[in-house]
C-alpha cells in the first residue's frame, strides 16, 4: 500500500500534499518564521556575494541559500561543461524521475514538481504542487516525498526500478547518511531512507542545468 511506504502523504490524485504531520520535525512554523532570518543570514550573504562575483552562473539565489554546495559546481566560462550535459534515459528495466523543490524570493510560497520517463524518453507522469512558506532545503525534501508518492500511486511501480534524481547534493548526502543531517530533520530523512531501501529506489544528485523540466513544472504550479 502507498500509505505503508510513505506514511503521512496522501495520493497525488487528491491534489494535496499534507505536511502537518511533520510539525515535530520541522518545528513550529511561527518559530521557524521568526528565526529563519537569523539562521539563514550568513548563507544569504554568501550566496549574494558568490552570484555578484560570478555573473555567468545561472543558479537561483534561493536554491544557493538552501544548498551552498551548488557553488562548488561552478567553473569558469572557458571550462564550463555543465551547459553541455544532457538528460540521459535510464537503462532497460528502470525509470528515471527528476524532482525539484523551490521557493519564491521572500520564502512565503514554495512548490514541488517532478517528471517520470522511461528508457525511450516517454513521459509517463508528471506532477506540480504548491506548498506553504518553507525553506529551500525543506522544499527539496518534500519534492522527494512527493515523487515517491507519485511513483507508488502509478501503474509503473511494479514494472521497473526507479532512479530518482534531485539537484540538491546536500539532501542526497543526508539520505545516504542520515546521521549527518540536522537534528530537527532526522526523522523525516530517516523515513525517506527506509522507504528508498525497502522499495529499492536509487537516489542520485543531478546538475541544476539538467533538471530544468522539473523546475519549470514547479513554477507553473506556484504561479
155 shares a domain with 46: no
Q: Is the dihedral of CA 62, 107, 142, 86 positive or negative?
A: negative
What ranges make up the beta strands (E) of the chain? 94-103, 110-117, 123-131, 161-166, 202-205
Domain membership of residue 52 as a residue range: 29-83
1 in a structural domain: no
Name, in order, each residue with C-beta under 8 angstroms of 46's C-beta and a sequence gap of 6 or more.
Answer: 68
Kindly report, residue by residue over 116-166, the tens digit of the pLDDT. 999 999 999 999 888 888 888 999 999 999 999 999 999 999 999 999 999
Q: How many domains does the chain have?
A: 2
Residues 53 and 119 in one domain: no
Task: Clarify whether residues 144 and 202 are in a common domain.
Answer: yes
Q: Quick one: 116 and 185 in the same domain?
A: yes
pTM of the model as a whole: 0.63
Of residues 64 and 21, more confidently modeled: 64
DSSP 40-56: THHHHHHHHHHHHH-TT
C-alpha to C-alpha distance for 181 and 173, rounded to whole angstroms: 8
In a domain, 8, yes or no: no
**Between these two residues, 168 and 53, which has the higher pLDDT value?**
168
Q: Among 61, 83, 105, identify where a domain stops.
A: 83
Boundary-marking domain end, from 48, 68, 83: 83
> With 90 as the cut, is the pLDDT of residue 68 above it?
no
Q: 163 and 122 in one domain?
A: yes
42/115 same-domain check:
no
Amino acid at each position: 500500500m502507498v500509505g505503508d511506504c510513505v506514511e503521512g502523504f496522501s495520493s497525488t490524485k487528491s491534489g494535496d500534499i499534507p505536511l502537518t504531520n511533520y510539525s515535530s520535525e520541522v518545528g513550529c512554523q511561527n518559530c521557524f518564521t521568526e528565526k529563519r532570518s537569523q539562521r539563514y543570514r550568513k548563507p544569504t550573504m554568501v550566496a549574494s556575494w558568490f552570484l555578484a562575483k560570478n555573473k555567468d552562473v545561472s543558479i537561483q539565489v534561493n536554491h544557493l541559500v538552501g544548498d551552498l554546495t551548488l557553488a562548488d559546481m561552478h567553473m569558469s566560462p572557458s571550462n564550463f561543461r555543465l551547459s553541455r550535459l544532457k538528460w540521459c534515459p535510464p537503462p532497460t528495466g528502470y525509470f528515471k524521475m527528476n524532482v525539484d523543490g523551490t521557493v519564491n524570493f521572500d520564502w512565503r510560497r514554495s512548490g514541488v514538481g517532478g517528471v517520470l520517463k522511461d528508457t525511450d524518453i516517454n513521459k509517463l507522469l508528471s506532477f506540480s504542487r504548491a506548498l506553504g512558506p518553507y525553506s529551500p532545503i525543506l522544499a527539496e525534501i518534500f519534492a522527494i516525498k512527493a515523487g515517491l508518492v507519485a511513483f507508488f500511486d502509478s501503474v509503473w511501480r511494479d514494472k521497473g526500478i526507479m532512479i530518482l534524481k534531485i539537484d540538491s547534493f546536500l539532501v542526497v548526502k543526508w539520505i545516504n547518511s542520515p546521521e549527518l543531517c540536522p537534528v530537527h530533520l532526522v526523522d523525516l530523512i530517516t523515513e525517506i531512507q527506509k522507504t528508498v531501501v525497502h522499495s529499492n529506489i536509487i537516489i542520485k544528485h543531478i546538475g541544476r542545468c539538467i533538471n530544468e523540466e522539473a523546475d519549470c513544472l514547479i513554477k507553473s504550479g506556484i504561479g
